[in-house]
């Protein structure tokens, strides 16, 4: 599919020019993580095409999923579903069709380095909460440097491996000061609505975890947006949520 081809080509382009921030691309995997129980992160969901995982998301109401704009931008809402209820991709308990999705109106993709990389999916049928499916609160504060969070997803375990991970993975990350992140990217621009997370070499995300949650204090605080390299010790980039509270609230009112 064109969606996967574009991600793959963009990722290959990035690795060849890893020092240049302008070559950043949407990620798809957690590297160096550990297995995660869905009962620990019950708001985590999978976006799937033909029963194949391609992005993550977070339940923020029983009827709405928060994800990255680049996961759904330009897609037909009938072409993908949302799966919930298990940490094992082979054991998803509930599959939901899409009623509509709203991409942030200022999102322009790669041309603006994935600024405003946020979207909200409305489900055709609202979920019934239980231990494996539960709405996450949105972290209400600005994330300050050195805050520790957890990234969760089903993305690939290695760049060379075409398969996503069967089991949900988690890895910790440390929020960086944006100026520190800019230095790591040799002067690339990090906007106030973005944040950087630093992992040790061999840990992080790369491609399939896009759209998934960054959790702080068991609340969703960011969206996996962009990476440069895979577990290379270079900061990963997330969409902050605090600048978008109004937009999120507006879209959570609709069903």
Q: Of 64, 86, 104, 117, which is the active-site residue?
A: 117
Is residue 117 flagged as an active site residue? yes
The Cα–Cα gap between 190 and 21 comes to 10
Q: How far is CA 89 from the centre of its chain?
A: 17
Largest distance between two CA atoms of the chain: 47
Is residue 186 flagged as an active site residue? no
Q: Of 64, 70, 116, 203, which is the active-site residue?
A: 70
Residue 250, token pair as written in the block: 């507006």
Question: C-alpha angle with apex 195: 4 to 151, nearest 5 degrees?
Answer: 60
Instruction: Dump the DSSP string for 133-145.
Output: B-PPPBP-SPPPT
Exposure string of 238-254, with b = 16+ CB inside 10 Å and e = fewer, is: bbbbbebeebbeebbee
Place of tokens 């239980």: 130
Residue 141, token pair as written in the block: 């504060």
From residue 141, alpha-carbon distances to 122, 134, 197, 216 in Å are: 25, 21, 16, 10
Q: Of 86, 87, 136, 210, which is the active-site residue?
A: 210
Is residue 70 flagged as an active site residue? yes
Residues designated as active site? 70, 117, 210
């Amino acid at each position: 599919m064109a969606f996967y081809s574009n991600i793959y080509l963009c990722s290959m382009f990035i690795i060849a020019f890893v020092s240049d921030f302008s070559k950043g691309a949407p990620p798809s995997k957690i590297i160096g993580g550990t297995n995660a129980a869905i009962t620990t992160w019950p708001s985590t969901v999978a976006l799937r095409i033909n029963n194949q995982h391609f992005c993550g998301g977070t339940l923020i109401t029983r009827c709405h999923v928060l994800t990255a704009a680049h996961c759904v931008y330009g897609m037909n809402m009938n072409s993908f579903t949302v799966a919930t209820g298990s940490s094992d991709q082979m054991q998803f308990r509930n599959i939901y069709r899409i009623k509509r999705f709203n991409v942030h109106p200022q999102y322009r993709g790669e041309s603006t380095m994935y600024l405003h990389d946020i979207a909200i999916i409305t489900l055709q049928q609202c979920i019934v909460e239980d231990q494996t499916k539960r709405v996450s609160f949105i972290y209400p504060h600005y994330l300050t440097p050195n805050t520790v969070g957890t990234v969760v997803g089903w993305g690939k375990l290695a760049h060379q491996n075409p398969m996503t991970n069967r089991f949900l993975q988690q890895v910790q990350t440390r929020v960086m000061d944006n100026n520190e992140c800019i230095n790591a990217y040799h002067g690339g621009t990090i906007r106030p609505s973005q944040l950087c997370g630093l992992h040790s070499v061999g840990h992080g995300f790369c491609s399939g975890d896009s759209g998934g949650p960054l959790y702080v204090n068991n609340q969703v605080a960011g969206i996996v947006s962009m990476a440069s390299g895979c577990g290379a010790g270079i900061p990963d980039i997330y969409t902050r949520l605090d600048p978008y509270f109004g937009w999120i609230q507006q879209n959570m009112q609709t069903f």
